[in-house]
């Protein structure tokens, strides 16, 4: 879907749990809506709300949803996903692998403008993944997200320490009121 318009609204109809809604609208009437709790943390910061909604969409793509019996019985590497193009002058195809407990999950290939853009996206998602790990109990995972090219070559790894440093930097910026 080519996103042509993004809208953000607050839904106060649920009295106990207000919702921040981000709507990604595309050509041809397509629309993806992401409803998020914790409205106060995102209130007034449209860019943060959009980035969090994007991260939710990326993480949602890793859920165990089977389209058919073959998908339900497979190992998650759906061979019907084909790549028609590995790179072009505007960027490349990147595959993200996310830590999922003791295992991992790969999401379908994504077109990104550059490896640096892919790293920034991986780091942003890794910060979100930190919330799923209790770093005080058990061993610290050696990686959270791996980035591969369209041929399966490992290009970059985001680990817990990188994600934690990025989270701390974002927290400092938020505390100082510097949103940049």
pTM of the model: 0.50
Nearest Cα to Cα of residue 144 among 177, 166, 169, 168: 166
How many folded domains does the chain comprise?
Answer: 2
Domain housing 151: 80-180
User: What is the C-alpha to C-alpha distance for residues 75 and 150, in angstroms, rounded to an integer?
Assistant: 19
Whether 57 contacts 128, CB under 8 Å:
no
Looking at the structure, tell me whether residues 163 and 105 fall in a common domain.
Answer: yes
Looking at the structure, tell me whether residues 126 and 52 fall in a common domain.
Answer: no
pLDDT score for 179:
54
Tens-digit pLDDT profile for residues 76-106: 444 443 333 334 444 688 999 988 767 788 8
Looking at the structure, tell me whether residues 134 and 97 fall in a common domain.
Answer: yes
Looking at the structure, tell me whether residues 102 and 172 fall in a common domain.
Answer: yes
User: What is the C-alpha to C-alpha distance for residues 177 and 143, in angstroms, rounded to an integer?
Assistant: 31
């Amino acid at each position: 879907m080519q996103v042509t318009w993004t809208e953000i609204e607050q839904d106060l109809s649920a009295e106990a749990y207000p919702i921040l809604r981000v709507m990604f609208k595309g050509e041809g009437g397509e629309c993806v809506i992401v409803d998020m709790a914790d409205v106060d943390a995102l209130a007034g910061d449209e860019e943060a709300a959009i980035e969090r909604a994007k991260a939710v969409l990326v993480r949602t793509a890793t859920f165990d949803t089977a389209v058919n019996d073959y998908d339900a019985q497979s190992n998650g590497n759906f061979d019907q996903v084909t790549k028609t193009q590995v790179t072009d002058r505007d960027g490349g195809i990147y595959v993200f692998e996310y830590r999922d407990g003791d295992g991992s999950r790969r999401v379908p290939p994504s077109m990104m403008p550059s490896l640096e853009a892919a790293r920034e996206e991986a780091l942003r998602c890794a910060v979100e993944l930190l919330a799923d790990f209790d770093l005080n109990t058990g061993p610290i995972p050696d990686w959270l997200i791996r980035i591969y090219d369209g041929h399966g070559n490992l290009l970059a790894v985001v680990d817990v320490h990188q994600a934690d440093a990025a989270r701390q930097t974002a927290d400092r910026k938020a505390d100082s009121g510097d949103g940049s």
